Chain A
Amino acid sequence: ELKVEQNPLFLSMQEGKNYTIYCNYSTTSDRLYWYRQDPGKSLESLFVLLSNGAVKQEGRLMASLDTKARLSTLHITAAVHDLSATYFCAVDMIETSGSRLTFGEGTQLTVNP
């Protein structure tokens, strides 16, 4: 059974600071996704990482994937209040045809002024 673990689960940081959210998964996969969820809202796709060493950046967020270590990171640079949200990583099992995402528990990020 595929397990996906994120840490930290809660993150409070000051504006302007940098931090990294980690996503570990238990079985072989090369399909990893990052999503953002605002309170009471749905999931917004941030990144799709499809190969070992993939790195993608959008604004103050950068995501990377190391399939050998079964690890993805979401790095936040110079955080601003608008980044406050819950961030999820999700993994597709490599043996699965189609899609069957297993999500991490989510990291609740609060950026304080």
Chain B
Amino acid sequence: KAGVTQTPRYLIKTRGQQVTLSCSPISGHRSVSWYQQTPGQGLQFLFEYFSETQRNKGNFPGRFSGRQFSNSRSEMNVSTLELGDSALYLCASSLRGRATTQYFGPGTRLLVL
């Protein structure tokens, strides 16, 4: 079974631009979560989608948004990029979210200049 895939793997943007990251979950998984990892803040939860609905949201500004499609693929968007948005963005998928193993993708490394 193929794992979680994320595209692109690396991205360089400048301040003020926007970016869209994509995540394809493991086949059959309906829950997709997004996390931001930085050296200073560690791993922080962004949001979780289940059956195209946002089920949980972390404490990030409204510049961070996401969506999930009917095939469970998910995208997250960051508008008006700031230097502090430079991070590894990880997507995780699971069968139903709670109490099930979350399988993480390889991540998208975003650098904002």
Q: What residues of chain B have their CB less than 8 Å away from a CB belonging to chain A?
A: 31, 33, 35, 42-45, 48, 50, 55-56, 58, 90, 92, 94, 97-107
Report Cα–Cα, A35/B90, bound state, in Å: 13
Residue numbers in A under 8 Å from B99 (CB-CB): 31, 48, 50, 92
Q: Any chain B CB within 8 A of the CB of A66?
A: no
Report Cα–Cα, A45/B104, bound state, in Å: 8
If the complex has contacts A42-B104, A45-B103, are A99 and B43 also in contact, measured as CB distance less than 8 A?
no
The size of the chain A interface, using a CB distance under 8 A, is 24
- Which residue from chain B places its CB closest to the CB of A35 in the assembled complex? B104
Tell whether, in the assembled complex, residue B97 and residue A106 are in contact, meaning their CB atoms are under 8 Å apart: no
Residue numbers in B under 8 Å from A98 (CB-CB): 31, 48, 50, 55-56, 97-98
- Which residue from chain A places its CB closest to the CB of B58 in the assembled complex? A100
Contact among B55, B90, B94, B98 with A43 in the assembled complex (CB-CB below 8 Å): B90
Report Cα–Cα, A44/B104, bound state, in Å: 7
Within 8 A of B (CB), among A66-113: 88, 90, 92, 96-106
B4 to chain A, nearest CB (A): 8
- Which residue from chain A places its CB closest to the CB of B103 in the assembled complex? A45
Contact among A33, A96, A97, A105 with B102 in the assembled complex (CB-CB below 8 Å): A33
Report Cα–Cα, A104/B58, bound state, in Å: 16
- Which residue from chain A places its CB closest to the CB of B32 in the assembled complex? A99
B40 to chain A, nearest CB (A): 11
Residue numbers in B under 8 Å from A33 (CB-CB): 101-102
Contact among B58, B102, B106 with A41 in the assembled complex (CB-CB below 8 Å): B106
Report Cα–Cα, A43/B112, bound state, in Å: 23
Tell whether, in the assembled complex, residue B58 and residue A103 are in contact, meaning their CB atoms are under 8 Å apart: no
Residue numbers in B under 8 Å from A45 (CB-CB): 101-104
Residue numbers in B under 8 Å from A44 (CB-CB): 104
Task: Tell which of B43, B101, B104 has the most Cβ of chain A within 10 Å.
Answer: B43
Residue numbers in A under 8 Å from B33 (CB-CB): 99-101
Annotate A24-61 by CB proximity to B: 1 below 8 A, 0 otherwise. 00000001010100000111110010100000000000
Tell whether, in the assembled complex, residue B45 and residue A42 are in contact, meaning their CB atoms are under 8 Å apart: no
Could you pull out 21 A-B pairs where Cβ atoms are within 8 angstroms?
A31-B98, A41-B106, A43-B90, A48-B99, A92-B99, A96-B98, A98-B31, A98-B50, A98-B98, A99-B31, A99-B33, A99-B48, A99-B97, A99-B98, A100-B56, A101-B33, A101-B35, A101-B43, A101-B45, A103-B43, A105-B42
